[in-house]
Amino acid sequence: MDEPLFFATRAHVLVCTGPRCGRAGSRRVFDEAWRALEREGLAYYKRGGSVRLTESGCLGQCAHGPALAAYHGDAQGALAESWFVQVDAPRVVEIARALHDGTALPERGRFGPR
């Protein structure tokens, strides 16, 4: 059996495509963001890319969807999490770009731990 390929990442971004976020357009948000991350070379499997974007089930923020959770390293290298609601594709890309570049995350729609 072949060994699985490992791709190092800086961040894992999950966009909820659960039932209520789906009704709020999250499938289109995910698809558009996916294409943008590929086009801009941010996707983890592209040369120089580092962001893994996946869809997820319900993230528990159904009334405020589409919801997004990102897991990434903090300034000390510890695992951190960042949460957002009412995301659209441009904001997913903005979040992914900030995580890739190690710059400040956007504040609009952000909640939870800082």
User: CB of 15: closest distance to ligand FES in angstroms?
Assistant: 9
User: CB of 78: closest distance to ligand FES in angstroms?
Assistant: 25
Spatial distance between the Cα atoms of 71 and 26, rounded to a whole number of angstroms: 19
Closer to ligand FES by Cβ: residue 34 or 84:
84
Neighbouring CB atoms inside 10 A of 67's CB total: 27
* Cβ pair 66, 86 in contact under 8 A: yes
Return residues touching ligand FES (CB under 6 A): 16, 18-21, 58-62, 65, 67
Residues 6+ apart with CB under 8 A from 114: none
Using CB positions, name the residue nearest to ligand FES. 18
Closer to ligand FES by Cβ: residue 14 or 43:
14
* Adjacency order of strands within the sheet including 51-56: 51-56, 11-16, 68-73, 79-84, 110-111
Closer to ligand FES by Cβ: residue 19 or 41:
19
User: CB of 46: closest distance to ligand FES in angstroms?
Assistant: 27
